Chain A
Amino acid sequence: MRPLRFLLDEELRELTDIDPTMTVLEWLRGPAGLTGTKEGCAEGDCGACTVVLGTLASDGAMRYRAVNACILFLPMVDGCQLLTVEHLKAADGRLHPAQQAMVDQHGSQCGFCTPGFVMSLFAMYLTEQRPTRARVNDVLSGNLCRCTGYRPIVDAALAMYDIEWDEPVRAHAAKVVQGLRAMRDDPEPLAIEHAGRRYFAPTHADQLDALLAAHPKATLLAGATDVGLWVTKLHRDLREILFIGNVAELHGINDRTDELVIGAAVTHADAFAVIAREFPDFGELLRRFGSTLVRNSSTVGGNVANGSPIGDSMPALIALGARVVLRGPQGEREIPLEDLYVAYGKQSRAAGEYVARLRIPKLARGEQFHCYKLSKRFDQDISAVCAAFKLRVENGRVAEFRGGFGGVAAIPSRGRKTEHALVGQPWNEATLARAEAVLGEEFTPLTDMRASRDYRRLATTRLLRKFFIETTQPGVATRILDAEVLA
């Protein structure tokens, strides 16, 4: 078995005898002795552990993305370049613009979140031109600061572009590309065995199929934005892990005339542009989905296969009529996404089947689609209620209606009773009132820390009303995040 290999900054690290569920953060702060990266929550919700991963893209260039190290298992950096806050200063000791601007703008107080912010800013510096303040807020959505109130940090994000700097990461990219290419060209996939725990990182679907057949109880791992927490929060002992992030067949976005086909291992960050273009409201939902740090790791297939009743992509996908392609020992089959979910924690996937890709039909002429996410905080919060609606009106009557809901039942759900109450009826206030009454009874949501049952019920019906308003009263403002409202 070959060692786990990656570049720490520009230095090749080859590790053997590694616990595959050790997180990158634990390795950095422990064996690597790099304590600049902090643990704030160990669940990917505060960003104090932010590091930057450099990967070799299919076009041969480097891609950089900021991720949460606290829930990233160390083997997942195999074949990557790992950059931490310790790697930013110039050889002569000068601070990186992301660091210097934070000093200049008084962007740190207690300083504990600061390395994470610096790394998010650093990733932005590498990948984006000077952004707007709103864009900076999005980039920093996964980094929490309890001291500053953020204003000086956002100022620093803008000011760093004014600092003269010859970026060493760019200057040395060719050498790094060479190093990563050599790793990629090694045909042997990573496999780890340590103290009874096993980890496999197949690169092709047939390898994955064979491994699944041999290890039917293995945990499938994609972005680790949920599975990581099984270890760091629930302290579960994952004995066998199949990492699917390197499986070529699970990647790729196919933008067809009438549908989007998205591989299960595509991250939400990579899927964002095409989804936002095709379905602007779904794009807005994704903008608020997790955080930038989460979306840089989390995958389209992972969210769907995890099947959480409060997962945010499923209501939109269900309303859009998305179908999920399952691959298993018997080959591939395709089902409507809502049919994947049977009961809490129970899916219609057969043994050995996994989510291979999603097929999302584009909107046909006359179809209208909106989706809504309600949560205590706009960014990086799990929804109390998520709802999505697709509508086609013909001759004043509802010809087609699909409603997808999250947070109101034990599974991501389609609101069939509500749909039934609407289809064939005139799209007017009287119909809406009847449909609201049906929707108010269709689900029996829970009361928990995110919202009460009463709120979930009421808000769900209010979201249907909002959809009605938005489809019948164009020009009437209904969104408090609209720039016009904020102005």
Chain B
Amino acid sequence: MSAEAHDHGHDHEHEHHHHKDTFITKYIFSIDHKMIAKQYLITGIIMGVIGIAMSLLFRMQLAWPEESFKIFNVLLGDKFAPDGVMANDIYLALVTIHGTIMVFFVLTAGLSGTFSNLLIPLQIGARDMASGFMNMISYWLFFLSAVIMLSSLFVEAGPASAGWTIYPPLSALPQAIPGSGTGMTLWLVSMAIFIASSLMGSLNYIVTVINLRTKGMSMTRLPLTIWTFFVTAIIGVISFPVLLSAALLLIFDRSFGTSFFLSDIYIAGEVLHYQGGSPVLFEHLFWFLGHPEVYIVILPAMGLVSEIMATNSRKPIFGYRAMIMSVLAIAFLSTIVWGHHMFLSGMNPFLGSVFTFTTLLIAIPSAVKAFNWITTLWKGNLQFNPAMLFSIGMVSTFITGGLTGIILGDSTLDINVHDTYFVIAHFHLVMGISALYGMFAGIYHWFPKMYGRMLNKNLGYIHFWVTAVCAYGVFFPMHFIGLAGLPRRYYTNTNFPLFDDLQNVNVLITMFALIGGAFQLVFLYNFFSSIFYGKKAVQNPWRSTTLEWTTPVEHIHGNWPGEIPHVYRWPYDYSNPNHDVDFVPQNVPMKEGEEVLHH
């Protein structure tokens, strides 16, 4: 029946007569892109809460090493936190699962999955995704992979603990670390399913953007959100399969005795049979996804921020075409820089030179984007809605975090800061916090579109400012302990008196993290209570130009009750001097003799 509903999707009148959605088809196995977007968002938020909570636990261990906390015992149990002292293997497990959840489940699926699904059909003027059924399967595979990932927390020897990068041999040998037993198997199975989900989603996005744009919606009239979702999906399709192959080969090595990544290993008193494989090969395969993944995470955030900034500045985004070109340039470069994670992996140093060159090139399109955002603010009429605050915050953290990339991307400088807390500070700012800000901005901005109600703005302001101060409070001091040479993934630094003077900084970082983490509750409250009790939204609360705001507040299958609107202009006609109002929606025809004022 649901497939049928989709077939008739274009014939809206027909549809309304025929179909009454049951609870199951409407809320669970829905093929409506708007519902699927909400499913992605809520799942992403739940995973986010778990991921962030884990980080708070290990931050407490780092600030007050081997001290006893009742909460550790309650949450981690007697095995991993006897007497409330966190054990060293569960510390590594927490670090690993935190990374996995945040990168894949929150910032990939939660961010891309939510907004690509919500906005692609609405902003290009389509009734739904190209394949609603595949879209539904994509979400449920994601859900399944999330369940499997979480279930790995409860296996006897603990979840995967080889770091989110799961480098073999550590991830391949249960003798090397207990988490590499069943926990690792579940991790790999979960990721394989996740990749399948991601590929289905991406293919759908690409096909929808190419084929289902409404009349007049040429590629150069697409909002930047759609451009970034489109390019992100392409990167995903190119790089995720490589991770899948790496995961499969690792499964072979673990379970069937092959030697793709293993060679000459003596562990627990015996020589293993593996011969001829190379862990460096795994690193290549992993980072061939792993680095583009960073852009899979940040590009959609960039798109959301561009859109929100233009709307709230009441100005066109500056350099629309330059923004598109820079997204394409970043996407292209992102696939040829993975080796900068491997300068010290033992690969030929000549490769290091090549990857230094390509990596530093990425700074150019990134700089173009940053300056274009700043120029968008210049002489604007800035409306500080919470979404706008998060957008400005995103540009700020993207610059702060991005600049230190010039150090890490330079092989010579990477020698001494590689795998220290400097790296943690860098990537959390540039892709973690930035993408999270982008996601929050998107939620505040499109909440009325998703739920027909408004989020509370004052709670939004509190949420933003406390988060902004805490984000800097956590990650700015972290650069210094990294420059002091403190390696990441250390359970405690107390074995190195050399690092004793870093302890106060660690305490400060943890305090900021705890405050920042606690204030996310403000957001959670705002989000879940506003779904039911928020102020009713008007059709176009932010006075925006894009097509999603021409749909009725009440969701209907097929999006527009009548004909799909035609598009006559680009998406950024804000404060156009030819018009009296300060925004002209894309579906408003050009006036007689109206000139196009942009390139």
Physical interaction between A and B: no
> B residues touching A (Cβ–Cβ < 8 Å)?
none
